[in-house]
Amino acid sequence: MKYTLILLCCIGWNTASAQTGNDWIQQKIDSLVKSKAVPGIMVGISDQGVRRYYSGGFANKATRQLFDTATQVEIGSITKTMTAYLLTAVLQEQRISDTTAIGPYLPDSVRTNPHLSTIRFVELMNHTSGLPRLPDNINLTVKNPLQPYAAYGPEQLYAYLAKAIPDSNHKVSYSNLGAGLAGILAARISGIPYEQLLKKYITIPFGMHHTDTSAAPGRPFSTGYYNEQPAEYWTMHVLKPAGGVKSDAADMLNYLEQLIRNQQSAVVGSITTPTASINNRLLVAKGWHILIMPNQSSLFWHNGGTFGFSTFCAFHKESGKALFLSVNAFNKNNIGDAFGIEIMTKLLQYP
Structure confidence at residue 12 (pLDDT): 44
Q: Are the beta carbons of 254 and 49 closer than 8 angstroms?
A: no
Structure confidence at residue 350 (pLDDT): 74
Structure confidence at residue 216 (pLDDT): 87
Q: Are the beta carbons of 335 and 327 closer than 8 angstroms?
A: yes
The structural domain count of the chain equals: 1
Structure confidence at residue 347 (pLDDT): 94
Q: Which stretches of the chain drop beneath a pLDDT of 50?
A: 1-2, 4-20
Structure confidence at residue 351 (pLDDT): 60
Cβ neighbours around 50 below 10 Å, total = 8
Measured distance CA(88)–CA(26) in Å, rounded: 38
Helix, strand or coil, per DSSP, at residue 255: helix
Ramachandran bin of 32, using left for φ above 0, alpha for ψ from -120 to 50, beta for the remaining angles: alpha
Write the single-letter amino acid at 192. I
Q: At what angle do helices 176-190 and 79-93 cross, to 10 degrees?
A: 30
Query: CA angle 68-288-234, nearest 5°?
Result: 50
Helix, strand, coil content of the chain in percent (nearest 5)? 40, 20, 45
CATH of the domain at 37: 3.40.710.10
302-311 pLDDT tens trace: 999 999 999 9
Domain extent at residue 71: 3-349
Query: What pTM value is reported for the model?
Result: 0.95
Structure confidence at residue 14 (pLDDT): 40
Q: How far separated are the first and last CA of the chain, in Å rounded?
A: 29
